[in-house]
Amino acid sequence: MPADVLVRPARPEDYEAAGDITVAAYASIEGFSPGPRYEAEMRDVAARVETAEVLVAAAPDGRIVGAVTFVPGLGPLAEFEGADESGMRMLAVDPAAQGLGVGRMLAQACLERARATERSRLVLHTTRAMTAAHALYRSLGFARTPGRDFHTPGGLVLEAYVYELSG
Ligand SMILES: CC(C)(COP(=O)(O)OP(=O)(O)OC[C@H]1O[C@@H](n2cnc3c(N)ncnc32)[C@H](O)[C@@H]1OP(=O)(O)O)[C@@H](O)C(=O)NCCC(=O)NCCS
């Protein structure tokens, strides 16, 4: 499938499918429960495109099979503090299309965007339960960076991974 899959910016007609897939992918993670507030945020693609770029993976028949939010720089969606940094959030692949290389394509598209805008690094946060994602990030060259972890008020540790683009 990946050779036929196209990664491109989400169009308004993709927003609903991209939101649904994001919720479905996160709901499928064993040991992780997003909760209604985060689910509503994941579904709100229209809000995300105001300040970030939502990319989708489209199958040859036009079906959306994955989505990711590229946060180009500082702003409401940034989970980083450096003006020379970009972020990647809400990487998700339709559970029926996982394991085929789509997640890797979406993550690589974010890296390409960060590189093209001459950012120093790409920063993301994940949780302990997201083990498939950790393997993907490590294989792409992200480094686990505990010094940039966040602790949510609910007691969840958001574990940082950083990809150095400069030097
Ligand atoms: C993480 C996720 C986006 C990966 O997407 P995917 O299309 O299934 O991944 P790919 O097929 O591109 O695989 C890329 C790499 O991910 C890792 N990976 C994928 N599925 C895995 C699994 N079930 N177990 C362990 N590692 C896995 C492997 O390193 C794999 O590389 P390889 O094929 O060379 O071994 C997808 O599993 C998903 O949507 N998960 C739920 C949401 C989530 O956790 N998002 C990340 C938030 S930080």
102-116 vs 131-140: helix axis angle to the nearest 10?
50
Mutate to test the pocket of ligand 1, among 136, 137, 148, 158 (most ligand atoms within 8 A of CB): 136
Distance between CA atoms of residues 93 and 25, nearest Å:
6
pTM above 0.85, yes or no: yes
| CATH value at residue 154 | 3.40.630.30
Residue ranges lining ligand 1, Cβ < 6 Å:
25-26, 29, 91-93, 98-104, 126, 130-133, 135-136, 139
Residue 125, SS3?
strand
Distance CA 79, CA 149 (A): 10
Structure tokens at 166: 């400069």
Burial of 83 (C-beta count, 10 Å sphere; 0-12/13-18/19+): exposed
pLDDT at 154: 83
Model confidence band, residue 33 (pLDDT cutoffs 50, 70, 90): confident
127 within 8 A of 32, measured Cβ to Cβ: yes
For ligand 1, the distance from its centroid to the CA atom of residue 13, given in whole angstroms, is 26
User: Would you tell me how many other CB atoms lie within 10 Å of the CB of residue 58?
Assistant: 19
Task: Among 104, 142, 158, name the best residue to mutate to test ligand 1's pocket (greatest count of ligand atoms within 8 A of Cβ).
Answer: 104
Start-to-end CA distance of the chain, whole Å, equals 34
Please give the mean pLDDT across all residues of the chain: 96
Nearest to 126 by CA among 149, 107, 103: 149
Helix 35-43 × helix 15-27 angle, to 10°: 150
In whole angstroms, give the CA distance from residue 154 to residue 53: 28
- Closest Cα to atom 8 of ligand 1: 98
With the most atoms of ligand 1 within 8 angstroms of its CB, the residue from 71, 98, 122, 157 to mutate is: 98
Model pLDDT, residue 167 = 64
Total structural domains within the chain: 1
User: Which pLDDT value is given to residue 103?
Assistant: 98
Condensed to tens digits (0 to 9), the pLDDT of residues 133-162 reads: 999 999 999 999 999 999 988 888 999 999
pLDDT digits (tens, 9 = 90+) for 42-84: 999 999 999 999 999 999 999 999 999 999 999 999 999 999 9
Q: Has residue 123 got a pLDDT over 80?
A: yes
- Domain that residue 30 falls in: 2-164
In sequence order, which residues have a C-beta less than 8 Å from that of residue 50 and are 6 or more positions away?
Answer: none
